[in-house]
Amino acid sequence: MLRTYTAKYTKISSGYMGQLVEWPEVITEGKTIEECREMLRDAMQEMIQAYKQQDREIPPGGDILEQVLVEA
């Protein structure tokens, strides 16, 4: 079964932090956004395997994010 998840990337002092919006336990860091993206995919695969082994329900994913402009 294919699922989609929403990745959020935040610039930090050591590079980038990546996290899945629908599955906040999946979080990682990388020196570049490309490295962070790759590590996030790896972390997600590891988490899927761990959830399956523990017979836990995998979050469904599929959220949609939208940026909203606000004058501050």
Reported as a single tens digit per residue, the pLDDT across 17-55 is: 999 999 999 999 999 999 999 999 999 999 999 999 999
Give the residues across from 53 on adjacent strands: none
- Report how far Cα 18 is from the mean position of its chain's Cα atoms: 6
pLDDT at position 38: 97
CATH architecture, domain defined by 1-72:
2-Layer Sandwich (3.30)
pLDDT band at 64 (very low <50, low <70, confident <90, very high): confident
Of the candidates 5, 11, 37, the residue with the CA atom closest to the CA atom of residue 24: 5
- Distance set, CA 52 to CA 18, 55, 65, 67 (Å): 23, 5, 27, 33
Summarize the confidence of residues 50-72 as an average pLDDT.
92
Neighbours of 17 (CB within 10 A): 16
